[in-house]
């Protein structure tokens, strides 16, 4: 089945069907060359998918339950209870978790706007420093297609290859590109090792002590802008000179760095200033050649949540609708800080709760919560006030997602499953708006 025959909401009807291309959301690479075999409404194979992708597709089985206070409930009753909880809260929170479409994310933003809630997503707890650095400094980056077609110098900066299994095959350094006709043979690959084992099969490896990482990046930016700047000594200068020479010999040089936590191990956090230093290098590269910095992201349409919030509210995270117009509060208004302060009295979580940061998840468990997402009834928020299982975009529901380089990709439904998240949220928007109108009509004392 090719794209020309696809339509939104399409689900294979034949007992055995081959669906191609299908798009995987297992990691931020969003590989869109997968062939999925569906037999008797179950996924039985996902060709070309890595182990992470195969696990993400699963077999298509998914729960489809709605509960209220731990008891089975009709879907309409569960949605009405969710709307009542959000409408009567004085400080509600809407939180966007992964594995929902941009269409659903936009409707979740509408819920937050309608009930005057705080609005946040997983990025605030994972990549906030990178987002803020990009806002303050700007950034020079590229699509993964540009990397594939142009990059002849690729520097993997302390990247765990196992977190992005098909990056090398799909984007760099392996594939043939428009301006790298010999593929891997036309590329110079460097692995910078700080905390991790390094990128396999690199042409050369540069080992940098953790305490020297930010200073090396800072010196690298300086040398790329002005090769004749005052020279220093020490490891940071030596490493920076080596890397500056490699970058300037390329026609198109990219530094690939992981923006997500966890790549350096559960107990290792990134040093302060790393994100700022990387974005400064991204600009400096273009003083001597062309290129930029690629920030690797995890899967589940995380960048889609940032884009959906930005398109509606102007900001990618930590938005507050309490005063009617969106305010940006990245330092004191994230979900983590609000939950820790105890001001949140109701929350709506949209998406896969298993992928939420543990600190945020612990806070959500302490407030009356509506959990709406894939596998919600079996996830960590299964004991919430209202729980509604929804479809997983790309498996049970069609929709649009963003790859980690902000390129939009259409996803299709492969098998039948729970109700679509966007349909549930559309109903919830209507119920919340109706509830607010009723409260406003009850008199000044009842107006939020």
| pLDDT tens, residue by residue, 313-335 | 999 999 999 999 999 999 999 99
> Binning pLDDT at 50, 70 and 90, where does residue 231 land?
confident
CATH of region 128-296: 3.40.228.10
- Which pLDDT does position 262 carry in this prediction? 67
Instruction: Name the most confidently modeled range: 84-88, 194-198, 435-439.
Output: 84-88
> Binning pLDDT at 50, 70 and 90, where does residue 209 land?
very high
Query: pLDDT above 70 covers what percent of the chain?
Result: 92
CB 361 within 8 A of CB 380: yes
- Averaged pLDDT, 47-57: 96
CB 415 within 8 A of CB 152: no
Q: Has residue 14 got a pLDDT over 70?
A: no
- Which pLDDT does position 73 carry in this prediction? 97
- Which pLDDT does position 193 carry in this prediction? 96
Q: Has residue 77 got a pLDDT over 80?
A: yes
Q: Has residue 440 got a pLDDT over 80?
A: no
Give me the count of residues in the chain: 448
- 74-89 burial code (b ≥16 CB/10 A, e <16): ebeebbbbbbbbbbeb
Instruction: Give the chain's end-to-end CA distance (angstroms, integer).
Output: 51
Q: Has residue 221 got a pLDDT over 70?
A: yes
- Which pLDDT does position 261 carry in this prediction? 80
Q: Has residue 308 got a pLDDT over 50?
A: yes
CB 97 within 8 A of CB 302: no
The CA distance from 375 to 354, in Å, is 9
User: Which residues, 6 or more positions from 120, have their beta carbon under 8 angstroms from its beta carbon?
Assistant: 93, 94, 95, 96, 317, 318, 319, 333, 334, 335, 338
- Which pLDDT does position 197 carry in this prediction? 87
The CA distance from 441 to 125, in Å, is 38
Q: What's the Cα-to-Cα distance from 168 to each of 28, 173, 406, rounded to whole Å?
A: 13, 5, 19
User: Which residues, 6 or more positions from 108, have their beta carbon under 8 angstroms from its beta carbon?
Assistant: 94, 96, 100, 119, 308, 348, 350, 425
- Averaged pLDDT, 187-194: 97
If phi > 0 it is left, if psi is from -120 to 50 it is alpha, else beta; for residue 375 that is: left
- Out of 7-11, 42-46, 389-393, which region has the weakest mean confidence (pLDDT)? 7-11
Q: Has residue 448 got a pLDDT over 50?
A: no
- Assign domain 66-125+300-446 one CATH number from 3.30.1360.10, 2.30.30.190, 3.90.1200.10, 3.40.50.740: 3.40.50.740
> Binning pLDDT at 50, 70 and 90, where does residue 444 land?
very low
The CATH 3.40.50.740 domain(s) of the chain lie at: 66-125+300-446
- 344-374 burial code (b ≥16 CB/10 A, e <16): bebbbbbbbbbbbbeebbebbeebbbbbbbb
Q: Would you tell me how many other CB atoms lie within 10 Å of the CB of residue 261?
A: 16
Instruction: Return the closest-CA partner of residue 126 out of 269, 286, 289, 308.
Output: 269
Q: Has residue 245 got a pLDDT over 90?
A: yes
Torsion from C-alpha of 37, 43, 45, 49, nearest 10 degrees: 100
Give the helix/strand (H/E) hosting 46.
Answer: strand 42-47
In the numeric block, the tokens 């809630």 are attached to 117
> Binning pLDDT at 50, 70 and 90, where does residue 439 land?
low
- 17-34 burial code (b ≥16 CB/10 A, e <16): bebbbbbbbbbbbbbbeb
The CATH 3.40.228.10 domain(s) of the chain lie at: 128-296
> Binning pLDDT at 50, 70 and 90, where does residue 304 land?
very high
Q: Provide the mean pLDDT of the chain.
A: 92
Helix/strand number for the chain, H first, E second: 14, 19
- Averaged pLDDT, 207-222: 96
> Binning pLDDT at 50, 70 and 90, where does residue 232 land?
confident
Q: Has residue 447 got a pLDDT over 50?
A: no
- Averaged pLDDT, 228-233: 83
CB 213 within 8 A of CB 272: no
- Which pLDDT does position 442 carry in this prediction? 55
């Amino acid at each position: 089945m090719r794209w020309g025959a696809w339509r939104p909401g399409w689900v294979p009807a034949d007992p055995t069907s081959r669906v191609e291309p299908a798009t995987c959301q297992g990691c931020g690479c969003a590989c869109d060359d997968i062939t999925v075999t569906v037999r008797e409404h179950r996924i039985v194979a996902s060709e070309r998918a890595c182990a992470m992708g195969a696990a993400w597709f699963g077999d298509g089985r998914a729960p489809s339950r709605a509960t209220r206070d731990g008891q089975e409930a009709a879907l309409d009753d569960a949605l009405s209870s969710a709307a009542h909880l959000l409408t009567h809260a004085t400080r509600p929170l809407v939180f966007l978790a992964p594995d929902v479409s941009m269409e659903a994310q936009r409707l979740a933003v509408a819920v937050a706007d309608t009930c005057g809630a705080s609005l946040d997503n997983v990025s605030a707890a994972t990549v906030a420093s990178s987002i803020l650095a990009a806002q303050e400094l700007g950034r020079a980056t590229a699509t993964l297609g540009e990397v594939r077609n142009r990059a002849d110098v690729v520097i993997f900066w302390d990247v765990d290859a196992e977190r992005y299994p098909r990056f090398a095959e799909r984007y760099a350094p392996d594939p043939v590109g428009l301006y790298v006709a010999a593929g891997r043979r036309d590329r110079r690959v460097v692995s910078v090792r700080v905390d991790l084992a390094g990128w396999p099969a690199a042409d050369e490896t540069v080992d940098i002590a953790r305490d020297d990482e930010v200073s090396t990046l800072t010196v690298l930016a300086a040398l790329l802008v002005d090769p004749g700047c005052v020279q220093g000594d020490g490891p940071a200068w030596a490493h920076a000179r080596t890397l500056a020479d490699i970058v300037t010999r390329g026609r198109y040089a990219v530094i690939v760095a992981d923006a997500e936590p966890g790549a350096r191990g559960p107990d290792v956090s990134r040093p302060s200033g790393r994100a700022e230093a990387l974005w400064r290098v991204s600009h400096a590269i273009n003083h001597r050649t062309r290129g930029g910095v690629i920030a690797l992201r995890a899967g589940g349409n995380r960048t889609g949540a940032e884009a959906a919030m930005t398109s509606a509210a102007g900001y990618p995270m930590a938005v507050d609708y309490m005063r009617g117009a969106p305010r940006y509060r990245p330092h004191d208004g994230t979900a983590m800080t609000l939950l820790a302060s105890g001001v949140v009295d109701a929350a709506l979580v949209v998406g896969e709760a298993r992928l939420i940061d543990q600190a945020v998840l612990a806070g959500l468990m302490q407030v009356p919560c509506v959990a709406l997402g894939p596998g919600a009834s079996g996830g960590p928020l299964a004991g919430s006030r209202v729980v509604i299982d929804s479809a997983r975009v790309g498996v049970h529901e069609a929709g649009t997602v963003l790859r980690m380089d902000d390129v939009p990709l259409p996803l299709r439904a492969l098998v039948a499953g729970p109700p679509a998240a966007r349909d549930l949220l559309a109903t919830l928007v209507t119920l919340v708006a109706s509830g607010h109108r009723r409260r406003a009509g009850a008199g000044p004392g009842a107006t939020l």
